[in-house]
Structure 1
Amino acid sequence: MNIPIPPSFHPDAGQSDIFPDKGEYVLKVSIGNPPFDLYAIADTGSDLFWAQCLPCDQCYPQKNPKYDPKSSSTYRNVACPSKRCQLLGTTSCAPPSNTCNYTYGYAAGSLTQGVLATETLTFASTEGSPVPLPNVVFGCGHNNTGTFNENEMGLAGLGRGSISLISQISPSFGGRRFSHCLVPFNTPPTISSKMSIGSGSEVSGPGTVTTSLVASQDSTFYVVTLNGISVGSTYLPFNSSGAVTKGNMIIDSGTPPTIVPRDFYNRLEAEVKSVVKLTRIDDPQLRPQLCYGRNVQAQGPLLTAHFDGNADVVLKQTSTFIEAKDGIFCFAMTPIDGPGGIVGNFAQTDHLIGFDLDGNTVSFKPIDCTKL
């Protein structure tokens, strides 16, 4: 069935389902005409939206059928050279067809290569009727390698860059903003939560706290300032000296653990160990992680992340200790040798988080995401 494209629309908000997937979260996106359901990793730490495309010269195994551009009446290759081709810095022209070839890599070593194209994406809306959005630029990936699993049909880049899915589609829904709610790790994959896009996706009401986004050299990232973390009632500053550099953390839904500088991590781990009155489990396969039995999710300390602007976000025990093996729960943070870090998706669970690209803020509201 062909979708009629309205000349103009302005629903309250676009909506999409997000499902948990083995430490990542996949966003349901309908692409093409007729619509083809795509489940792509929801990633606020990158910009490009791409899908595994036929023909797949070198693709990772995928459980669902791969997207076939030939089956869609609205697929178009991006011309090269063109302004759209330049939205991504890693493109090249491929004569004689002059397709816009791209290469896009990730910190974990994953890589996608293919051609930039445009397609119609269809989203649900709070008005109830599906909304088709024509001419969205995406990557048709013909060579995709890395740490992807069979449920992931691509990746939805939700960063701040001009080619990101959010930058392209949110103006059609009335504003450059979106919010998501991530269900806890190991929630059954049949339980989804919602992402809202545009006007009406604002996070507000009792319990909401807001911090400022910090300008960054890399236009992709949502950068915030973390002043410190409290373990129970004990406050630990981000830096031992007490001085905090603005913009020291990236909020990244595509990275599971929270990553902090080694000195900060060592102080956090030592305080957690001193508070938890349980026997530590030393599993050779999990070393050097700090691990305990199942009771730690009930008896472990509450951690509170203190962001700039008095934005205090309480992390539940279910997001502080994650089941790494049957009955073994490990501290969901990891150290890095560097000055900054990442707020991973474990720490984001059971919070409605709103990103406002125009207002340069991020808001957090504690909520049971399985009830959305």
Structure 2
Amino acid sequence: MSFLSNNSNATPSSKMYFGRPNTSSGPEVVTTPLLSNGVSATQTFYIVELQGISVGANNITLNADAKAFKGNMIIDSGTTLTYLPELLYDSFKSAIEEELKDRDLEVKQDPTGSGLSCFLTKYDILPGPNVTFHFKGADVKLKSANTFVRMDDETVCLAFSRGSGVGTYGNWAQINYLVSDEGDVLYVFPRDYRAKLVGRSFIMRVEPLLEKEKAGAEYLARVSFGTTLIASIILVFAAILVALIAIALK
């Protein structure tokens, strides 16, 4: 995530927005405060307070000490998965599996070996369980595309993993959401972003071939120019020689 503003103050006051393009307020935009715990090692992170997670009717709450620093979730676009503290992850995973128990999905081992919760299915899990992250003052409802990630043709995994300490809200959970500090729109994945990536990949594959063709054409042009120049010089000398011979014969 690349934030547009860079406030050098030690204790900046700002909020993080989730909503539609070019909006910083309104019924479809929610905000949560950005926090700082005063520890230099975490000053480069954007930290927020996660108060709980809802999976269907199951509400998983976090009971934090009222005197403790409540920043418990880093918002990070450089991390793919969302990492939850161990106890929270276990409750979240159990709630997801409970919501999916009637889908007859076979549990499958994570093909990456990362210990993710995975299911054997050739189809996307649609509709997915209703998952809502309850940040302080902001309820962010995740879509199925934010909750699950396809690993291969037969495997779909939960896009969440077990972590420790402060959690990390990864970029997969942020897809198709606009995130901003102080209201500036930072990024959005368009609906056709996969097609654009494929198109860009095709261009990258073809580009070296085009460069080789270009180099070959330039080489042929130089050779043709040199050949033409030499031929012209020979013709000029031949013409001069013929003229000199004609004068000598007179």
Q: What's the TM-score, normalizing by structure 1?
A: 0.42
Note if 1:265 corresponds to 2:53. Answer: no
> Which of 265, 280, 284 in structure 1 is aligned with 2:106?
280
Distance in 2, Cα, partners of 1:247 & 1:265 = 17
Note if 1:329 corresponds to 2:156. Answer: yes
Q: Which residue of 2 aligns with 1:100?
A: none
Unaligned runs of 5+ in 1: 1-42, 45-157, 159-164, 169-175, 182-193, 195-200
Residue 206 of structure 1: CA displacement? 3.1
> Which of 12, 26, 35 in structure 2 is aligned with 1:205?
26
| Identical-pair percentage | 32
Residue 219 of structure 1: CA displacement? 2.1
Listed as ranges, the matches of 1:99-114 within 5 Å are none
Q: What's the TM-score, normalizing by structure 2?
A: 0.60
In the TM superposition, what whole-angstrom CA distance separates every residue of 1:278-298 from its partner, at most 9, and x where no partner exists?
323313634532112244520
Note if 1:252 corresponds to 2:91. Answer: no
2:106 corresponds to which letter in structure 1? R
Unaligned runs of 5+ in 2: 8-13, 194-250
1:327 corresponds to which letter in structure 2? E
1:291 corresponds to which letter in structure 2? C
* 1:178–1:202 Cα contact (<8 Å) kept: no
Distance in 2, Cα, partners of 1:350 & 1:256 = 14
* 2:17–2:31 Cα contact (<8 Å) kept: no
Listed as ranges, the matches of 1:290-309 within 5 Å are 290-292=117-119, 293-309=121-137
Distance in 1, Cα, partners of 2:96 & 2:31 = 27
Listed as ranges, the matches of 1:112-123 within 5 Å are none
Listed as ranges, the matches of 1:315-326 within 5 Å are 315-326=142-153
2:35 corresponds to which letter in structure 1? V
Bigger relative contact order (CA 8 A; separation at least 6): 2
Higher helix share: 2
* 1:177–1:355 Cα contact (<8 Å) kept: yes
Q: Secondary structure at the match of 1:329?
A: strand
Residue 242 of structure 1: CA displacement? 8.6
* 2:122–2:153 Cα contact (<8 Å) kept: no
2:53 corresponds to which letter in structure 1? I
Distance in 1, Cα, partners of 2:126 & 2:96 = 14
CA gap 1:229/1:294 in 2 versus in 1, 3 angstroms: farther
Distance in 1, Cα, partners of 2:65 & 2:93 = 18
Residue 204 of structure 1: CA displacement? 2.6
> Which of 289, 312, 317 in structure 1 is aligned with 2:116?
289
In the TM superposition, what whole-angstrom CA distance separates every residue of 1:216-273 from its partner, at most 9, and x where no partner exists?
323211110000110012101135x797851100100110100110110001101111
CA gap 1:362/1:305 in 2 versus in 1, 3 angstroms: farther
Q: Which residue of 2 aligns with 1:344?
A: 170
Q: Which residue of 2 aligns with 1:313?
A: 140
Distance in 2, Cα, partners of 1:314 & 1:205 = 16
Distance in 2, Cα, partners of 1:210 & 1:178 = 5
In the TM superposition, what whole-angstrom CA distance separates every residue of 1:342-367 from its partner, at most 9, and x where no partner exists?
110011111111112xxxx8999xx8
